[in-house]
Structure 1
Amino acid sequence: MKLLIKPLVASIALASAALAQADGIVEGRIIDAASQTIYKGAVVRLEEAKRQTLSGQAGRFRLPPVPAGDYTLTITLGDKTLDSRRVTVIDNDVTSANVVVNEGDDIIDEVLVFGQAARMQRALDRQRYSDRIISAVNADAIGELPDSNAAEALQRIPGLSIERDQGEGRFVRVRGMGSDYNSVSINGTQIPAPEAGTRSVALDVIPSNLISSLVVTKSLTPDMDANSIGGAIEIESISALDREGPFYNADLEYSYDELTDNTNPKLSLGGGTTLALGGERRLGIAAAASYESRDFGSENTETGGKWDGDELEEMEMRDYTINRERIGAALNLDYEHDINNAFYLRTLYSEFSDDEQRQALVAEFQELVIEDGEEERDGTSRASGDSGLGEVARELKDRKETQTIKSVTLGGEHFINDWTVEYDLGMSSAKEEEPDSMDSAVFTADVDNIGFNGSKKPILFGSELYDASNFELDEIERVHSHSTDDMNVAKVDITRDLIVADYPAMVKFGGKLKSRKKHMDVDIRKYEADDISMSDYVSGSVDYGLGNFGPALNDSQLRALMNTLAADSEAEAAAVAEGFVDSLIEDYTIEEDVNAAYVMGRIDMDELQLIGGLRHEQTKQKSKGYQINGDDNEAAVSRTHFTNDYSHTLPSLLAKLDVAADTQVRAAWTNSVVRPTFEMIRPNVAIDGDELEAGNPYLKPLESSNLDLGIEHFMGNAGVISAFAFYKNIDNFAYETDVANDAYYNSLAGEEDTTTTTFENGTSATVKGLELAYSQKFATLPAPFNGLLLSANVTFVDSKATITSDDGDEQLSRTISLPKQSDTTGNLVVGYENDTISLRLAANYKSDYLDEVGNLEDSSGDIKQSSQTQVDFNASYKLSEQLKVRFKAANLTDEPYYTYQGSEQYNAQYEDYGPTYSLGVSYSSF
C-alpha cells in the first residue's frame, strides 16, 4: 500500500494549491408546485459558462465551480424548458438557486414525466451527460419497468443479451462476455452470488417495483471497481426524497402459462414518505415488497452431442414441472440534515426457490458382441428409424433449491466548500441450499427393440419402453448442499473541485477494502437395493407434448422408499460410502481480499472533457479443499491449502468532445481485471489411477485492455442516433482443457503418465465490435400518430481465442470464438402512447454462438446454441390517474431453446416453454 500513498498525497497537494483560485458554486433543488413532482434527471445548465449537470436524488443539483459573475441558469426536461433565470455567482461562496416550477398561473404542460418516452428521455440525458460511456434503462415510477425483471429490461440495451433459465431471463452478457465477467452492484455495493462455483448474480431477484434505474457502464473510470470486462451493471433503487410527501403503489397480476395450463399470482407493494424534521432536515422512508408463485414447466429432448456422423450413441427425453417462488423486500432510509450533509441506509432481502420435478427417459444404444466366446452388450451408434438393443433408464429428480440474498449498505455524502466526501460500509451475504434433494431415482432395463426418430427433435420409440414391469431400481441418490458467499466492503471517495486556467476541473481519490468468503459443502448418499420393480412406484403417465413418454414415477412413494433405506443401518452406511468421494470433491472454502486505491482528474475545456487516472488493486486469495486418491470410503483423503497473491495497476484515459450543439464524440482507453470463477480455482483434486480432475488455484486473472470510440447525435424528444466501435485485448483467457504427463500431477497420482482435466490460461483473446442505435418519439406527426415511438439497435461482435490441449505426445490447438458470444444481437421496439394508453411490441434477436467446446482437433464436436428471436408485447390503459390495467404477452412466437452439435440438424438439446400471458392492475399515488 505504500506505493499508493504517494499519488494520493500528490493529488491532495494539487487540490490544496488550487484553494487560492477564486470561484463559486451554484446548487439547488427542482420541484413542481402543482403536482409536487421532484424533477430528477432534469438538465441544469449555466449558459455562459457552458457548464451543465443532471439533477439527482431529491431533485438536487450542484454545478462545478465557475468564476464569479452573472449567468443564465436554465432547466430543461426532454425538449421542454422548465425555467430560465439569472443567477449571481460570488467568489468562494455557494449560490442557492432553488427552482419551483408551476408556482404561478403560467402552467407548463405536456412535460415528460412518466411513460415510455419519459423513460427513454431520462436514459438518454443520463447517457449524454455522463463522464463514462454508459447505457441506461429508467423506470421513473414504481413498477414501471415494462419487462418482468431487470435482466429482461437490460436486453434492450445495445450490446447486451441475456441467458435464460426455463425461459426466464436471469443472467446478462455485455459485449460478448459471459455473466461471470461482468459486475453487478446495487446502490454501489457489489452483490455476492448464491450459486456455487460462480461469480455472476441472477438479475431476476430484485423486486421491479424497487428499481429506479439500470445503468451499464462500458468504459470504467478509476473510481470504479475494475472487475468487469464487458460492463459494470448498476441497479439503483428508489429514494423517498425523490417524492414530496407520501406515495404508494399496489400491483396485482395473474399470469397464464400456456404449456402447463397454469395460472399464477404476483403481488407487489411499494411506497414511502418524506418527513420534514424542521429547518432543512428531511427524512425519506421508502419500502417495497413483492411475492410471486409460478407453476410452469418445459419439455425437452437432448443428446448432449453424442452424434457420430448421422448416427446417435445415446439420448434422453425430459419433462419438467416447476414451482418457482420469489419473495423480495427492501427498506431504504435517506436523511438530509441540510443541503450539504446527507446519510442513507439501503437494505435488500431476496428469496428465490425452485421446487422442481424432472422425469427423464434415457437410452444408450447397444449391439451384441462376442467377448471370450460369450455374447455381451456393447455401446454403439444408431441411425434414425433403426431399432435394436439398448439400455434404458427412467429417472426422477425431485429437489427444492432456495437462494437467499441479503444486503445492507450505510453511507453518507458531505459537501465542504469545494470538497466532497462520500463513504459507505456494505455487508452482504448470499446462500443456496438444497436441504433434502432426491437428485435421482433410477430404474433401469435392458430392452431388445428401441430406436429414435428425427435428428432435430429426436423421440424414442419401442414398446418395451412403456412397460413399468421391465424396470428395476438401480440407485437413489440423496443430496444435501449448502453454499454461501459473504462480502464486506468499506469505501471512501474524496473530490476536490477547482478551476485550472479558467476551466472547471476536479481531483478525486479514494480507496476500497473488500473481503469475500465463498464456501461450498455437499453431502451425497447413494442407496441401492435388489428386486425392486418400478411398477410399484408409478402413477399415471407423463404429460409430454413432444411424443410418447409413458408412465410417471411417483415422487412421494419414492421418497418413502428412500427414507426406508436410510433407516436401515447397513443400507445407510453403504450409501454414505458410495457417495463419500463425490461429497468431498465438491467441498471447499475460498477467501478473497481485494484492496484498491485510485487517483483521477477531470477538466472541462469548453467543448472538450478529459478524464485520466490510475487504479491499483491488490488481490489475496486463500483456499482449502480436499485431495482424494481412490474410490468410495477406501480413498486416501488429505486437505489442500493454497495461497495466490497478485496486484494490478490500471491506467485509463477518457475524452468527450462536443462537435456540435447536439452531437458528441467519445473515446476511451481503459484497463480491467476479472478474477476467475470459483469453480475454476477450487482447491480440489480427484485422482483415479492415471486420470485426474482438478481446479487451478494458481489460475491468473483475465486482464483486458479496452478501446472505445463512438459518436452520438441527440434529436429532441427521446431521440438519438449513435455508433460505437470497441476493441478488447484479453490476456490470460481461461478455459477447461486436458494436460498430459505433467510433472506436478504425476507426483500427486504416483504415476508416470497422467491425464488431468483442469483449467488453464490461454495467451490472449480479442473482441471487436460495432454498436449502432436509434430511437425517437415522432411528436411532430399529426395526431394520433404523434404518440408513435421507435427504438432499434444492433451490435456486431467478432472474437478470437486460442485454446490448447495435450493428446499424448502431441499438443493440439485451434482458434475459437469466445463461448456465449453471439456475432449479432439486435432489438426492435415499436411503441405508442397517449394520455390513457401505452403499447409496446418488442423483438430481441441473437445469432448462434459457441456454447461448449467439443474437442481440440476440429469443430465437429462443438455445441452451439441456435439463433433466437423472442417477441414480447406490453399494453397498459389508464382508468384514472391512479388506476391502471396492464396486459403482457411473453414469447409470443413460442421460441424454443435449441443447441446443436456441428451442424444445426443434429440436436444437442431442444427445450420448449410456450408463451406466457399476464393481466394485472395497479393503483398508485405519487
Structure 2
Amino acid sequence: MAIILPRRLIIHFCGYCFLIFLLFLCRQAGAQNHGVISGTLTDCADNSTLFAANVFVEGTTNGVSTDRDGRYRLTNLPPGKIVIVYSYLGYLDEKRELEVVAGQTVQQDVALCLDVVMTQEIVIRAQAMGQAAAINQQINSNTIVNVVSKEKIQELPDQNAAESVGRLAGVSIERNAGEGTKVVVRGLSPRFNSITVNGQRIPSTDEEDRSVDLSMISTDALEGIEVFKALKPEMDGDAVGGTINFVTKKAPEGRHGSIKAQSGYNDLESDYGQIRGSVNLSNRFLDNKLGLIVGGNFQRANRASDNLNGSYTNNGLDSEGEPLVRVNNLNLVDRVETRDRLGASLTVDYKLKNGDITFNGFWGQTRRDEIRRRRRYRANTARQEYDLRNREIDTRLFTGIVNGKHNLFNNIEFTWQVSQSQTKRNTPFSHTGEFRELGAFPNPDETSFETLANSARNDLEETFLKRSFFDESSVDDLNRTASANIKIPFRTGKVINGNVKFGGKIRDKERNRNVDRTSTSAFGANDIGAANPDLFDLTREGKIKISNFIGGYVAEDFLDGRFFMGPGGENVNGPGLDPALLNQFRLDFLDEHTKDASVDLSDYEAGETVSAGYFQAEVNLGKKLMVLSGVRLEHTENNYRSIFGTPVVDEGGNVNLTGLNDTTGTRSYTEILPMFHVRYKFNEWFDVRLAATKTLSRPNYFNLVPWERLNGFNQTIEQGQPNLKHTSVWNYDAFLSFYNKWGLFTVGGFYKELENIDYIRQSRNQAAGPTLGWDVTRPENSEFTTTVQGVELDLQANLRFLPKPLDGIVFSANYTFLKSETYFPLFLTSNSPDPPFLPIVNDTVRLGTLPGQANRIGNLAIGYERGGFSGRISMVFKGESLRVAEEEEENVGSLRVTVGKIAENDSFTDNNTRWDISLRQKINKKLSLLININNLTNEPDRAFRGSDLYPTQEEFFGWTADIGLKLSL
C-alpha cells in the first residue's frame, strides 16, 4: 500500500493537468482569430544570436524573452497594425511596426547594436558582450540564476568546467592536485547539487556519494553555464545548493569553425610537455533547416604536487594550564601525475514548420596516471614508513539527448525529451607497496614537524617490505530519462498575461560498484624474503630490504629543502622507490598475493526510480509584478543489494569472511515540493526578487546499502543504513538588482533549513552479546535542524563611459558571507565511580559548521580590450572551512567521521587566494595569439587543527603557463 498510494497521487495529479489542458484546448477555438509574430534577434556586428532579449507589444504587457537560439514568438495578437519593441540591456532598442494577420505567422528578424560609439580602435568586444549576455539572462529570468556566458568561458584561463563555475557568487570548488573537480554551492557539499547537461542529470562519478567530478568536462565544448539557486516546479527537486546546467554549443546560421592549439609549462616539475587543443565546426543546410555542429578537444597536463600533512595529540595541560599538544604523525608526499582530458560533442537540429527536433551527444573523459611516493614519521607507534602507489584512473561521461519543441494551434508549446546519460569511473590498476622501519625514534622530539623528522633514526638497513596490494575498482552509473511538458500562454486585456505549464518526468537509475583487492598477507612479504634468500637483500631478521626497490628517481627541490623525501638520512631526496621494480615483484609472486575478501563488503548494486509531475503558473500583472507559483510531486523507489560478513585473519595473515550473506534493501517515499517566486520591477533599473521553495536531497548511495563489516581485532562495527531518511529543505531567497547599460549590481540573502540531514556517527555498542562495547560507525539522520545562511554581493560593470583609453575596461567582482549551524552526533565515555567501574557512554551532540562550507568566498576580474587586444587578470578567494574527510586508501569502503569530538580537534582548510592571467591578441581577422598563466603566486592549499598554530597540511602545485594560437575558419 505504501507504493500504491503515491502512484495514485501521481495519477490524480496528471489527471488534473490533463483536465486543464482540455479546458485550454477549448479556449483555442477563439485563438484562430488572432495572429503570431516570430523571428530571431542577432547582434548587428557579428550576427550572433541574443539570448534573453525582451520582445513586447508597445503599450501592453504582452511580451516574451528570446530563447537560447535568439528566437521569439508572440501569440494571441489581434489583427491590425501594432508596434513591437526589441530591447537588450547594453544595446540600442529597436521598434518595428507590423501588420498582424488572423490565423497567420509573420516572420520578423531583427539585429540590435551595442549602445556605444564604435571606432576603429575597438575591435574585440568579447568581454563586454559576454558580460551583457550574462546580465540580460539574469535580469530577465523568472528565478534567481547566475550565468557564465560563452564569451566569458572563452576568455577565462580555466582548465575545466568546474573552475569556470567557481567564478560565480556563492560558489567555491574542491580541488585535486590543484585542479578544480567538484562544486560547492552556498556552502553545501557537492552531493547537495544537481549537475545537468542541457537540462539532463549527470550521474554521479563518486564511489560512494552523489557528487560529480567536473574535471572531465572541457570548457571548449560549452556554450554557457547556468547556476539556478532557486528552483522552479519544472526542475528536478533534488537540489539543495543549486542546479548547475552546462549548455553545449548549437549551430548558428552560416558556416563557422575554429581550431585552437596550445603548449604549456609546469613550474613545479619544470615540464614543457603541456598541450591543449580543440576543433569546432558548424554549418546549416537545406535552407537553414538542418544544423550540424561537431567538436573535439584534448588536453595533457602535469598535475604534480609536493605535500606535507600531519596530526597531533593532546597530552593534558602544561605547568601553566595550557594544552600540551604534541605531533604524532607527519607525512611527506611527492606526487607525479599526468592527466589526459578528451572530449567530443555532436549536435544536430532540424527546424520543422512549427518547431524543431534536436539531438545532442556529449562525451568527456579524464585519464589519470599517478605515482605517489610517501614518507611517514609515526611517532605514536615509533615507526617510520615509506609507501609507493602507482595507479590509473579513468573517468568517463556520455550523454545522448533527443528533444523536440512544437507549437500547437499557433499558441500551445509542447516539449519532450528522452535521454540516456552514463558515467564510468574505473581504476584498472592501483598497486601499493608499504615499507616499515621499527623502533625508528629512539628519542622522539614531538614539538613540531621539523623536530620529529630530525629525531628519526633513518636506518634503511632495517627498513623492510611490509606488504604489497593491488586494487581494481569500477563504478558504473546509468540514467534513463523521459519527460514531456505543455506550456499555454494566456492574456486578459492589456494588463494581465502569463502562462501555465505542466508535465511529467521519469528517471530510472542503475548503479553498481565493484572493488577487488589482492595482497600479500599481514606477514606475507616477510615470508617471501625468508623463502627466497638468494633473490633479495635481506635484513638480519630475513625481511626484504627497501633497497631492493630503489631506482633512479629523485624528488628534486621537494618543498624547497624544508623537508626531504629520502629514503634514508637527512637532506636526501632520492634515489626513490621504483614502481617498475615493485610491479615486477608482484608479477613474480602472484601466487603470494591472495584475495582480500573484506573489500567485497563495499560492493553493491543500486536502483532508483524517480517519478515526477508538476504544475506551475506564471502571472504578469502589468510590467512590474511577476508571480510564479506551483508544486512538484516526486516519488522515489530505491532498491539495494550487497553482502555482509565478519573479516577474520588466519595464522598466515590471510583475510577471510565468515557469516557471509547476501542482503537487500528497499525503500519508497513521496515528497510534495511547493515553490513560490515573486519579481517586482520598481522601475527600468531596479527590481526585487523573492523566493520560497522546498527541495530535497537523497542520501548517499553507500550509506543506504545494507552492508556490515565486523572487525574483531579492532573491535569495530561498520554498517549501512537502508532506512536512512532523505533530507528535506526549505529555501528562502531575497535579492535586489540594480542595472543599466553600464552593468549590474546585486545584493541578496538566503536562508535554508535542512531537516533529517545525515552524518556518519560513531558510538558504542551497548547491546548484550559478543560485540558488547565495540565501536559502531554508521550513517544516521540528525534529530536537529541544520541552517545555512548567507549574503551575496555581485558587481558587473563596463567603463565605456570613460574617455579613451579607459573605456575598454570591464570589471566584475563578487563576495559571499556564509554561516551554518549543524549538530554533530558523537559519544563521550567515562568510567563509573562505583564498582565494578564500568564505562559510561553518553550519546550527545555538539554545534558546528557544515564540512566544506567556507565562511567567505570572493572573485575579482579586471579586463581590458582595445585594438585587437583583450586581457584579463582574475582572482579567486576561498575562506576557512571545516575540512572534509579525505580518501581512506588503506580500507576500501570504510565510513569516515569528519570532525573531532571537541572543537579544538577539528581540522580546517585555510584561506586560499589564486591569481590568473589571460591575454589575447588578434594577429589578423582570423588568427589570434593566446597566453594564460594559472596560480601565478604559487598559492598552496593549507589546513590547520583548531587554530593556525597547529598546521596539518601544506600542498604546493606550482604555477602553470601556456601559449597558443586560435584560428577562426
TM over 0.5: yes
SS in 2 for 1:136: strand
Contact 1:407 1:428 (8 Å CA) reproduced: yes
Following superposition, the deviation at residue 209 of structure 1 comes to: 1.7
State whether residues 131 and 152 of structure 2, in contact with CA within 8 Å, keep that contact through their aligned partners in structure 1.
no
SS at match of 2:944: strand
Q: Within 2, Cα distance between the matches of 1:899 and 1:101?
A: 51
Q: Report Cα offsets for 1:429-458 as digits up to 9, x if no partner.
A: 111111121034434443244756874788
1:187-206 pair list within 5 angstroms:
187-206=198-217
Stretch of structure 1 that moved more, 452-461 or 56-65 = 452-461
Which residue does 2:609 correspond to in 1?
Answer: 593
**Does the CA contact (< 8 Å) of 1:191 and 1:201 recur in 2?**
yes
* Conservation of the 8 A alpha-carbon contact between 1:214 and 1:236: yes
Map 1:413-424 → 2, pairs under 5 A: 413-416=405-408, 417-424=410-417
Please list, as runs of the form range in 1=range in 2, the aligned pairs for 1:137-536 lying within 5 A after superposition: 137-140=148-151, 143-240=154-251, 243-278=252-287, 282-304=289-311, 306=313, 308=315, 309-338=324-353, 340-365=354-379, 379=381, 390-416=382-408, 417-449=410-442, 451=444, 455=448, 460-462=453-455, 464-465=457-458, 467-500=459-492, 502=494, 503-527=496-520, 528-530=524-526, 531-536=543-548
Whole-angstrom distance in 2 between the partners of 1:79 and 1:675: 42
Contact 1:176/1:820 (8 A) holds in 2: yes
Paired residues of 1:80 and 1:111 also in contact (CA < 8 A): no
Partner of 1:2: 8
**Structure 1, gaps ≥5 residues long:** 367-378, 380-389
Q: How large is the RMSD of aligned CA atoms in angstroms?
A: 2.5
Q: Distance in 2 between matches of 1:139 and 1:35?
A: 14
Task: Determine helix, strand or coil for the equivalent of 2:440.
Answer: strand
Distance 1:752 1:504 in 2: 68
* Cα separation, 2, equivalents of 1:495 and 1:313: 64
- CA 1:272 to 1:49, structure 2 compared with 1: closer, same or farther past 3 Å? farther
Higher alpha-carbon deviation: 198-207 or 327-336: 198-207
Task: Give the 3 Å change call, closer, same or farther, for CA 892–100 of structure 1 in structure 2.
Answer: closer
Query: Which has a greater percent of strand?
Result: 1
3-state SS of the aligned residue for 2:565? Answer: coil
Instruction: Give 2:318's aligned residue.
Output: none
Task: Give the structure-1-normalised TM-score.
Answer: 0.91
Percentage of matched positions with identical amino acids:
25
Which amino acid in 2 is paired with 1:870?
Answer: R
CA, structure 1 residues 132+454, in 2 after alignment: closer, same or farther (shift >3 Å)? farther
User: For the residues of structure 1 that align with 2:451 and 2:101, how far apart are their CA atoms?
Assistant: 78
Deviation at 1:782, TM superposition (A): 0.5
Q: Cα gap change, 1:444/1:521 in structure 2, threshold over 3 Å: closer, same or farther?
A: farther
Aligned position for 2:320: none
Matched, 1:564 2:583: no
Measured after TM superposition, the shift of residue 534 of structure 1 is: 1.0
Call closer, same or farther: CA 1:854–1:190 in 2, change over 3 Å. Answer: closer
- C-alpha change, 1:154 and 1:50, in structure 2 (3 Å) is same
What is the count of residue pairs matched by the alignment?
881
In the aligned structure 2, how far is the partner of 1:857 from the partner of 1:211?
45
Match of 1:627 among 622, 644, 663: 644
Q: Which moved more, 1:667-676 or 1:198-207?
A: 198-207
Tell me, in whole angstroms, the C-alpha distance in 2 between the residues paired with 1:453 and 1:311.
5
Quote the offset at 1:13 in angstroms: 4.3
Per mean C-alpha deviation after superposition, the further-off stretch among 82-91 and 285-294 is 82-91
CA distance in 1, matches of 2:76, 2:746: 31
| Residue 836 of structure 1 pairs with residue 868 of structure 2 | yes
User: Do the aligned partners of residues 782 and 645 (structure 1) sit closer, same or farther apart at CA in structure 2, a change above 3 Å counting?
Assistant: same
What displacement does 1:644 show? Answer: 1.1
Q: Distance in 1 between matches of 2:16 and 2:493?
A: 22
| Cα distance in structure 2, aligned partners of 1:722 and 1:490 | 36
Distance, in Å, in 2 between the alignment partners of 1:455 and 1:289 is 50
Q: Deviations over 1:822-880 (max 9, x none)?
A: 12111121111123111111111121011156666420111111111111111111111
Structure 2 unmatched runs, 5+? 1-6, 316-323, 527-542, 568-575, 649-654, 829-839, 885-896
State the distance in 2 between where 1:563 and 1:826 align: 51
CA deviation profile, 1:475-517 (whole Å, cap 9, x unmatched)? 0011111111111111111111122455222111111110112
What letter corresponds to residue 536 of structure 1 in structure 2?
A: N
Whole-angstrom CA distance in 2 between matches of 1:793 and 1:223: 29
Residue number in structure 2 paired with 1:792: 813
Deviation at 1:630, TM superposition (A): 3.5
Residue in structure 1 matched with residue 831 of structure 2 by the alignment: none
Could you say if the C-alpha distance between residues 827 and 450 of structure 1 is closer, same or farther in structure 2, counting changes exceeding 3 Å? farther
Structure 1 residue runs of 4 or more that deviate by more than 6 Å after TM superposition: 106-113, 456-459
| Alignment correspondent of 2:565 | 549
Write the distance in 2 (CA, Å) between the matches of 1:877 and 1:112. 11
Q: Is the partner of 2:17 in helix, strand or coil?
A: helix
Residue 821 of structure 1 aligns to a residue in which SS?
Answer: coil
- C-alpha distance in structure 2 between counterparts of 1:276 and 1:692, whole Å: 64
**Which amino acid is the alignment partner of residue 846 of structure 1?**
K
Partners in 1 of 2:428 and 2:21 — Cα distance? 54
Given residue 587 of structure 1, which amino acid in structure 2 is its aligned partner? D
Compute the displacement of 1:629 (Å): 1.8
Distance 1:887 1:855, change over 3 A: closer
- The letter of the residue matching 2:297 is S
Match of 1:375? none
Q: Which amino acid aligns with 2:633?
A: H
In structure 2, the residue corresponding to 1:204 is in which secondary structure?
Answer: helix
Task: Tell me, in whole angstroms, the C-alpha distance in 2 between the residues paired with 1:456 and 1:125.
Answer: 53
Contact 1:715 1:776 (8 Å CA) reproduced: no
- Partner SS, residue 939 of structure 2: coil
Is contact 2:394-2:427 (8 Å) kept? yes
Which residue among 840, 846, 855 is the counterpart of 2:878? 846
| Alignment check: 8 A CA contact 2:81 2:98 kept | yes
Residues 1:741 and 2:765 aligned together: yes
Q: Distance in 2 between matches of 1:397 and 1:2?
A: 54
Distance 1:511 1:459, change over 3 A: farther
Q: Is the 8 Å Cα contact of residues 751 and 788 (structure 2) preserved in structure 1?
A: yes
TM-score normalised by length of structure 2? 0.87
| Offset of residue 518 of structure 1 | 1.7
Q: Deviations 1:268-324 (Å, cap 9, x if unpaired)?
A: 33333333325xx61111111111112241111111455654211122111101111
Distance in 2, matches of 1:500 and 1:18, equals 13
Q: Residue 41 of structure 1: CA displacement?
A: 4.6
Q: Mean alpha-carbon deviation: is it higher for 73-82 or for 150-159?
A: 73-82
Q: Is the 8 A contact 1:145 1:208 kept in 2?
A: no
* Distance (Å, rounded) in 1 between the aligned partners of 2:602 and 2:903: 31
> Structure 1 residues 392-401 or 913-922, which shifts more?
913-922
Q: Is the 8 A contact 1:262 1:296 kept in 2?
A: no
SS state of the match for residue 539, structure 1? coil
Specify the alignment match of 1:882 in structure 2: 926
Distance 1:858 1:921, change over 3 A: same
